[in-house]
Structure 1
């Protein structure tokens, strides 16, 4: 069969596959080219039509060219599979580039399509192999063209082009990974694997693939993709010893896939360098170059050396400045908070552990049954109860829909509710993190007449954006597996990320307004810009690059409003659903007063738990991954904005979670303080869930889970002079060591039980003027710490 005919068979098979997948996949996420039911008209931006006018032509065109080029290969099945994989990744790259105009993110993001590309490649390759059984096969060449110069450049420029490749959660410092964020050893090791891998793969392919210039070029390109796969394999092998291990979760498999996606995507986007080198080498056998080989080698080596050196020289080493210390911290006064290196500190130079709860009682939730309230009243008694349990922070969830019910008009009554809540929290010694909350984009439910595709179902509303900011382009409000995968929600988020009709700008200005209101309020611990942002329709473009752009412009608006408090930023909902995510790119903002705030729901509400699968990420590993991503942002603090929902065995899991918090000296906010019986997250049931549950039939308090409360309210230092060096606790048992700095000396330690001033069970070193004060259900120990200090209790 002729090469042209095989190429046409390949694109016909691929085109049919695209149509079948689009029809069968109700989410639009699992198919090569998804269709969610959104209107195709009017066209407002390139991203709306890029899938059809860019992705599809590139996909089919590259497949046709590649299959035609390798039709004479003895390895037709494997070569066709590689051709389709290459076509899918290049199509994703081209579409992303047109949609957002960012070369680096478009190239890196192409790897997200690998899980779709491989099955598609196998299917099309099977069809082509059957159709080409009687084709003529060309003789393989005696030797493979040399590509050492191209391979050297291909590997050496990897750190220069790395961007998000080989960065974040899947990589530790020992793995070969050519990104300067991983250190010199990993970078050099990664370059070596890419260079040697490209040369080795070329030797294998070049001796088995016969044909003309196009075939030689494509074989070199495949060799580069193979080198990327070898890099993933090398990193995974090293990772089994240095990082992944066999800890009972699926992380080694998941992280191995991500590394494979990174490596193959890099090969797909830059492997043409090796392809050109193969063509050039082949031509030298008949048409020698006038440039001497020593000069060519020297040029290649020089270019490679420069490419390796530049990213290391350009990497910033500056650390955020520490807050100016005060001579002392006034007793009972909440001082302004700032990021200092990897910790949160107050204006007295003391490290602050923010441990508390989420409060959702100001959220504008959808009410599944109007007669059943979806929130409980928020009163001073709530803040008193929170403080009585030893907590020192509240993450106060707010709703954009309530804040700005009409475009450009803020509801002063709602703003006043926020003011009152912050003041009441402050009166009880609690900091407040203002959280712009959303779940499922908005509180709009499916319309009564909605028609949901098979595999999806009508859904409740939840909370978030106002109606005027909800642009769904006719996509149905139907959920696939849960509220966060909805065609309407995905399209609304896409329009938000691309700032359609200025809706993103409106939220930016809403934050500027709030920041202006609270810029002088020291008890406001900061601003959490958007709760669990959805990935939209075009991850990772939306969930990384465009999410980072939103954060950047919002931070700028907050600072322009005069607010200097901390900004907390979250990765997308994927972190809550999988236990990890890529997050905004490194350097998305030049602001240093920021905190990475993922929601560590591992072994809780992640997809593995809901689908009955083995654990993807364990509780302990979840902390490791969060710390690793925070290092990507320059070594900033991690603060868990939400955790909880453990269900069966939640006391044991809460203990493991708390142990990790102590070991890493971190804070967080439990979800949730109280939950109303009509809360759509709670469902209509007898018990209003939460740390303080409510009996729905009577409205009275339900019995408390005291064992869970005991784990959440264990002893901990609320404010510690200088830096904490070790923390471990269980109930009242505490091991605390620290090194005081030049700032305030006042140490505050919470104990969940009453401890009187003469308690011999509390041993201290380097702490003077010790006093114990009853606080709610426990005690607050204060003292003045200097130098290296220790606090130990209960025989610890």
Structure 2
């Protein structure tokens, strides 16, 4: 695991970026204010995958109820329950919250599965009654305590409502063989009762910023067959009525907390919204995979002014570091906060990555191709699942400093800073992994042909073809070679470059070499030091394959003591690049 620290870049201004949860927040016209009358801008993270599993985060696909069935089929009900106990205990702990606060976040959005708080209507002992399960409340209590200890706010978000609130089943655990939230009065009554119970429990907790009452409704009310996700809805009457009823139930026990509403079509269709029914509401929207320009948020800015209500970007992410920086710059320039998605998963484009153990990969392979892959025996499958749960712990996660830097520092700074410490000099040769280029925006720390996905599709433009190690536009792949760090820069194209801030301990002439692999001839690179070209374009030989590496001298370069900025330019693409070596000439 890479351990790292990040100097926080704090931005001055008339609003508070670092929350102090001592007083209740409130909506005041278009702003969210604390008890001192200061505007609060949320910088948040959603804990996706903890209370509610979404299949893509586990590389299984499908909603949680199907994941549970697959697990139970392999290991039995008792062992399945033990796995989920370990998952809930390990996935989010105090260490995660302490890290988030230390990195500069001031809010956590908690995606809740109702089944941790109350059973499905089909399992109620008496039809129509609502009973309670303590596990969800206990987990929420612990998380709230960690937030309080770290000066952070907490938003409660009902991510999976009773019955499921949308045809996009993976995100809300909707089972189409059972009545949805919108097809069952009992499910709606249970949802209202759950929010009343939550509000009653947390009414006196100012560290709770608010209640996000239904995450991403996506249901066609007027023409479900042709518009299953409600994007063409013009009225959304049932949605507004339910959110109004939930608000009324909350207000019976809690006059203090903000209530956050979401539109249809994954939180974005607000057609038919009546006059706002409470003076302490915030309107949320979600944004994924589209350009980060004012046009992409204009509809919500118009909503803010026309309705005189605060807006909040409640969920976004799943893109590149460049997209993250550009999005947050856009949001904060327009004075509204945000919450990223998610903190961790089996994937590299989030602050934390859960390692993929070979045993769990075997389970994935079996679930994907049960007719072609041997069925794991119960003991082996259970051991793999428990190791997977162990890997979700913060101390076992792979940390991605470039992601956090892109979210916290880069929206407010054009500077590049070192990704890792590189010191040149002395009597030994220094090997600089080329994947450890500086932290910073595209065009400042590196230049690459593709840097984000703005296609509006989750599976759109790939910004990192290797999907490994870092989330910048630079394409990185696993690579095995002597003195390497296990990764190499690949898919290189002419005009791309990488920057490295190094400390030169001893002035002198340095012999520089590059380690590269290329199937075909023609690739070439050159070096700059502090903006001055110091080598011509040096051809790199064909090595026959991408895993056959050869060291090529780039020449002798004079380096002065102190901080130096080195740029490696791709003059002609085609080679995979592993490391640079620096040896002081005697």
TM-score for the superposition, normalised by structure 1: 0.37
Computing the radius of gyration from Cα coordinates, the structure with the larger value is 1
Higher relative contact order (CA 8 A, sep 6+): 2
User: Which structure features the higher share of helix residues?
Assistant: 1
TM-score for the superposition, normalised by structure 2: 0.50
